[in-house]
Chain A
Amino acid sequence: MSEESQINYSSEGELPEKIAEEVEKVAREKRLNKEEKEKLKHAVWNSYLESKFEPGEVIGIIAAQSISEPATQMTMRTYHFAGTAGLRITYGLPRLIEIFDAKHEPETPMMTIYLKKQFNTAEYATKFAENLIEKKILNIVKKISINLNENSVELELQDKKKTPTIVKTLKENFKEFNTHTKGDKIVVVAKGEVQVKDLQKLKEKILNVSVGEIKNIVNAVVHKEGEDWIVTTDGSNLEKVLQLEEVDERRTVTNDIHETAAILGIEAARSIIIKEALKTMQEQGLDIDIRHVMLVADIMTFRGDVRPIGRYGVAGAKTSILARAAFEETIKHLVRASIRKEVDNFKGIFENVMIGQVIPSGTGMFDLIAKFEEEKK
């Protein structure tokens, strides 16, 4: 494009703070003089204006089409094992649906844990990963038996050093039993009369008690990415993991949107939605503009909680009765509206298409507001 033909927007307006900062930074780095800096600002301002949507642009439908068109090409492959990580991850369309439906628990919860600088070595990472995996007494017990004479369950650990901590956990978990040590053995004694059946149940329960701080993490794998040793986990427990000393809490994430929202706040949840949706699409070799996903994530989170796209979320919160009735659960919406004497103001697109009026978007969103008096002679 030649210099003349370029669209010359007035550079009156203010650039957004972050972009303005960046311009300043570049100008400093490149040691631009005043004239050059003005030129740069002008160029940035022009491209900023060009990338803005025009008033009346139907960004929602454009975003929907931009996401759903490539999504139709997604293959039906649901699961496969990621080569190095060796973890099971939901991929493709099922994962995308999971994200936009804001499912309460992802099918395969997963954490990506970064370590602090001083712990960022292969040995530390491996040891850390090992400790992370949720262990049950089942995994560390050497011997377990029922003592019918004393109405008790006796167990012996592989690692005798752990005995005091286990006793503590057992005491917390089984308050109606007496727990004490007898030599190397831990003994859980029933108070009063019990039947053999109950002792057997107790034994099962003891075996399933989890030891250690962190629950839900089934597996953890270490791999290197650039400079960092990263621990990827099967299962998620953001709250507990963030409290660990070795963890770099600034970069560690989970793929569970609701967990993120609860622990790090709604903005973090929004970021996770964007990141996960984009990642899912890109894994399938589909490239979509981040801004479409950002819009969807904004709509899902702008009320302060994570809401799904669909009947119980975004679509169900439409103001127009007709638009809701046309989507799903027609009768419910119509009946409810008639009972409450609701009024449809015909401000949206869908309801105006229904009655055959000009839709209030695109070329149809403009109207003459001021009324001029007839010209006086």
Chain B
Amino acid sequence: MMTEVFLNGKYIGETNDPQKLVKEIRDKRRLGLISDQINVGYHDYANEIKIVTDSGRVRRPLIVVENGKPKLTQEIMDKLRKGETTWEDLLKTGVLEYLDSEEEENTLIALRPENITTETTHLELDPSVILGLSASFIPYAEFDRGDRVNYGAKMVGQSIGLFATNFLIRADTKSNVMLYPQQPLVQTHAHKVLNYDKHPNGSNVIIAMGCWEGFNMEDAVVINASSLQRGLLWSYMYRSYEAEEKRYLGGQQDIIGIPQAGVRGYAGEDAYKHLPEDGIIHPETVVNSDDVLIGRTSPLRFLGTMDQFISGVENIRETSVRLRHGDSGVADRVFLTETTDGTKLIKVLIRDLKVPEIGDKLASRHGQKGIIGLIVPQEDMPFTEDGIVPDIIFNPHGIPSRMTMGQMLEIIAGKVAALSGKTIYSPAFNPTPEKEIRDALKRYGFEDDGREVMYDGRTGKKFTAQIFIGSTFYQKLDHLVSNKIHARSRGPVTLLTRQPTEGRSKEGGLRLGEMEKDCLIAHGASLVLKERFDSDKTVVPICSECGLVAINDHIKNKQYCPIDGETKIINVEMSAAFKLMLDELKSMLIYPRVIIKED
């Protein structure tokens, strides 16, 4: 039967010897006769050959294996080291090749050279390339439970570091930059390959395993106050704000500058006090929640019947850009530029210093996350015989159930690295062996299990138990309490239902939900329930005749019904949401009659 051949998904012809065709293409590619970007896959179950040259495929390099022998030999490796040959040369000579998902189906890839059989077609460059980018940053990953590596990789992505080296001239909506990041003491190949030392995202800390008065229970950590004062895990949060001087139909346009008194929404002289004449905030001005950053006025968009005849300041609305509610900081820099339409565009970058505080989230690289539970002065922290004081006290209860042995190994490896002054290279599946590390520890005069005699900083007494202490890499994650803390007593309400707004940025209320409501009912706390739910209470005049909402005329100071005239009007207290429902029922042609008995 003829085999169909497809090029980039399009049918181009048929062949009666698919194996030969595929082999020919691959051989020519390996000889450098055709482009190394061509991949071909033969699917015998569908009896089709797929040749692909599309852009946007994900491809990865592999070492070609022929007759049970990898084509990358020691000889070539030596040449590579000396610089006599290059990666491109290896591609052209067919030592290496890039495979895509289509061609991968026809391969049998060995993880290590010793696993090669006669069937094997390719060899991985390194067994740890089966991990993704984030997971590659985890040392001793194969000693952790799989899910922990997964969590760890996820949290690497949330860590604050030096996300880009040009951050000073960027205006990202929101970004974080760590002040004194360090490269980890225990590294993997990913750190080398990606020049991680140029943009690290964490810091090495001295970690001791122990409980501290319950302040590090449930995954919390106790942190050394002096370490924080030395700059440990400090970061800046940058947020950019922008204002455009838009032009509208009819020659009107926005005006950036301090708004004139009298425009609609004018917030008072004080609100614009800190702005220079041009209405754009000066760098290094301290700003707080809801402060004006860029003063601006816009023409009214929708004119009412009377408004058309009014001109001047009456017809202008204040549209200043303000700092987000709950934020504070310092104006870092101001960019003046223009949009593609040629209108004036201003971007203001606000910087806020984030010193680690109680409630900030930290994590190691092994899926061990926790928040800061207490900041303890250095003099109260435990210390070793040598006078080493830990930066972080980690609760040992977090270890047995999660079985993150990789973390334990990283701690003693980090200890050795700190003592020797050399980083330790431990990628997944090819780590520096535990024995080597233990021997090194012994050589430096320490217990090989990483434990040391420690003393209580408050009493000076020796702890009965020896404490496991070492160095490990810690990350500060982008979940800082200062960006989340929120409370409200009174505040804004939504227009339609008169219920409190939702969300921190809108100074919203915390909802007492359906299930919470049930709890109050179950407790029989009827009056508490009523009080909690009267956030939108209103007094509605109701006509006693027709049971519909009556009119309250403030000028004439009388109430009457639009249908029945001057009948008996009763003022009823109800939730605005219910009043809204009555209105909606009326709009559906349902007559919701409120029957009131007054006593």
Contacts and interface: CB of A to CB of B under 8 A. Distances in A.
Nearest to A54: B524
Interface string A27-62: 000000000000000000000000000001110011
A61 B526 contact: no
A137 B457 CA distance: 88
B203 interface: no
B320 interface: no
Interface stretch (A95-103, A162-170, A194-202, A359-367): A359-367
A97 to B, nearest CB: 19
Contacts of B485: none
Contacts of B518: 61, 64-65
Contacts of A353: 517, 521, 529, 533
A40 B523 CA distance: 33
Nearest to B536: A356
A349 B522 CA distance: 11
A17 B318 CA distance: 80
A219 B429 CA distance: 54
B526 A362 contact: yes
Contacts of B530: 356-359, 364
Contacts of B525: 362-363
Contacts of B595: 343
A286 interface: no
A363 B522 contact: no
B537 interface: yes
A335 B578 contact: no
Nearest to A61: B522
Contacts of A357: 530, 574
A339 to B, nearest CB: 9
B576 to A, nearest CB: 9
Contacts of A58: 521-522, 524
B359 to A, nearest CB: 28
A362 B521 contact: yes
A64 B518 CA distance: 10
Given A334-B585, A354-B578, A358-B526, A349 B521 contact: yes
Contact of A359 (B521, B537, B575, B591): B521
A356 B574 contact: yes
B89 interface: no
Nearest to B517: A353
B423 to A, nearest CB: 46
A356 B523 contact: no
Interface in B509-565: 517-519, 521-527, 529-530, 533-534, 536-537
A338 interface: yes
B172 interface: no
Given A334-B590, A353-B517, A356-B578, A364 B527 contact: yes
Given A61-B518, A343-B595, A356 B534 contact: yes
Contacts of A363: 524-527
Contacts, number: 68
Nearest to B579: A355
A364 B526 CA distance: 5
A56 to B, nearest CB: 6
Contacts of A365: 526
B436 interface: no
B521 A356 contact: no
A362 B575 CA distance: 21
Nearest to B595: A343
B533 A356 contact: yes
A245 B578 CA distance: 64
Interface in A321-372: 334-335, 338, 343, 349, 353-365
Given A334-B585, A353-B533, A362 B523 contact: yes
Given A58-B522, A62-B522, A355 B590 contact: no
Contacts of A360: 526
Contacts of B577: 354
A361 B524 contact: yes
A255 to B, nearest CB: 30
Contacts of A343: 595
Interface string B558-595: 00000000000000011101100000010010110001
Contacts of A361: 521, 524, 526
A359 B590 contact: no
Nearest to B575: A356
A361 B524 CA distance: 6
A169 B522 CA distance: 60
B526 A359 contact: yes
B113 to A, nearest CB: 45
B574 A355 contact: yes
B521 A354 contact: no
A201 to B, nearest CB: 41
B524 to A, nearest CB: 2
A305 B398 CA distance: 54
A355 B577 CA distance: 8
A332 to B, nearest CB: 13
Contacts of B537: 356
A360 B578 CA distance: 18
Contacts of A358: 526-527, 530
Contacts of A338: 585, 590-591
Contacts of B588: 334
Nearest to B576: A356
A185 to B, nearest CB: 53
Given A65-B518, A343-B595, A356 B573 contact: yes
B329 to A, nearest CB: 41
Contacts of B524: 56-58, 361-364
Contacts of A356: 530, 533-534, 536-537, 573-575, 578
A62 B591 CA distance: 36
A334 B577 CA distance: 17
A198 B595 CA distance: 71
Nearest to A325: B581
A355 B578 contact: yes
A61 B521 contact: yes
Contacts of B534: 356
B508 to A, nearest CB: 20
Contact of B590 (A64, A65, A335): A335
Most chain B CB inside 10 Å of its own CB: which residue of A338, A343, A359: A359
A326 to B, nearest CB: 10
Nearest to B534: A356
B549 to A, nearest CB: 14
A356 B532 CA distance: 9
Contact of A354 (B519, B526, B573, B575): B575
Nearest to B524: A362
Contacts of A355: 574-575, 578
Interface in A55-78: 56-58, 61-62, 64-65
A362 B595 CA distance: 25
Given A356-B578, A363-B525, 5 more contacts: A355-B578, A361-B526, A362-B521, A362-B524, A362-B526
11 contacts: A58-B524, A61-B522, A334-B585, A338-B590, A349-B521, A355-B578, A356-B534, A356-B578, A359-B529, A361-B524, A364-B526
A-B interface, 7 closest residue pairs, ranked by CB to CB distance from nearest = A362-B524, A364-B526, A356-B575, A338-B590, A355-B578, A61-B522, A362-B526
